[in-house]
Chain A
C-alpha cells in the first residue's frame, strides 16, 4: 500500500539576508548555485541556467548545442516571489512557487511544487501538449 501523498511538495530555507537579496540570489544568480550535474538535461555540458525576469520569461539551460526549457514564468513579484509553469516531461502541468518573506534579521524562502493531484491524466497532458506541440510540428515537417 503506497503511503505517498499527492499533496504539494513544500521546502523551506532560512537565509541571513533580506528578501530582496535572497530573491536576487535565487533568480538572477541561479546559475551560481543550481546543481546542473544532477538537475538538468545536459548534465556536465550545461554552460548556463537562465531565468528571464518577467511574466512569460523562460527558465532554461544552455549547452554548446542548444537551449532546453524547464519552465515558464506565470507570475513575477520581486522581492516577494514568483510562480513557474513547470514543463519537465511527465511533470508538465505542475507549478512551482517560490516566496521570500522577512524573518527576523533574515528571510524565509519557501518553495512549493504543486499540481500532482489531478484525477484525470488528460487534464495534465492537454496543457503540456500545447507547450510541446510547436517544436514537434516543426521537427516533423523538417523530417518530411
Chain B
C-alpha cells in the first residue's frame, strides 16, 4: 500500500494539469515547473519518471525532443489503486465496528 504522497504530490499534480491541455516537451514542462516550485531539473525529471512508471503519462522521442502526453488509461490505474485502498480502509472500519459490539 502506498501513502497518499505517491498520488498527492503537488508537483506531479501540476505536471498532469499542464499535460491535460495537450502534449508538451520535457523542456517546456521543466521550465514551467522549475519556475513555479523552485526545484531543480533533476527533481522535475524524477517526478516525470514517477508519473511514467505509474502509467499516468507517456513519452516519445521526436527528433531531439522528448514529448510527454497524458495516458488516457491512467484513470484506470488510479481506480485500481483506490479499489485496494478502500478495501483496506474499510477492513479497519469493520474491525472497529466489531470491537464496539463486543
Contact = CB atoms under 8 A, between A and B. Distances in A.
Interface of A: 2, 4-6, 9, 11, 13, 15-17, 21-22, 25-26, 29, 32-35, 38-43, 68, 70, 88-92, 94, 109, 111, 113, 116-119, 121-122, 124-126, 128-129, 132, 136, 140, 143
Mostly, the A contact residues are: mixed
Contacts of B17: 125, 128-129
Interface of B: 1-5, 7-10, 12-14, 16-17, 19-21, 36, 38, 56, 70, 72-80, 82-83, 85-90, 92-98, 100-101
B76 A39 contact: no
A126 B19 CA distance: 12
A103 to B, nearest CB: 13
Contacts of A122: 20-21
Given A4-B76, A121-B20, A129-B17, A17 B97 contact: yes
B100 A17 contact: yes
10 contacts: A2-B73, A6-B75, A13-B93, A32-B96, A33-B92, A33-B95, A89-B9, A121-B75, A122-B20, A128-B13
A6 B79 contact: yes
A4 B2 CA distance: 20
Contacts of B87: 11
Most chain B beta carbons < 10 A, residue from A15, A25, A70, A88: A88
B75 A117 contact: yes
Contacts of B78: 90-91, 116
* Chain B contact residues, majority secondary structure: helix
Contacts of B70: 121
A83 B100 CA distance: 25
B74 A90 contact: yes
Contacts of B92: 33-35
A17 B4 contact: no
B90 A39 contact: no
Most buried by A among B38, B85, B95: B85
A143 B89 CA distance: 37
Nearest to B1: A38
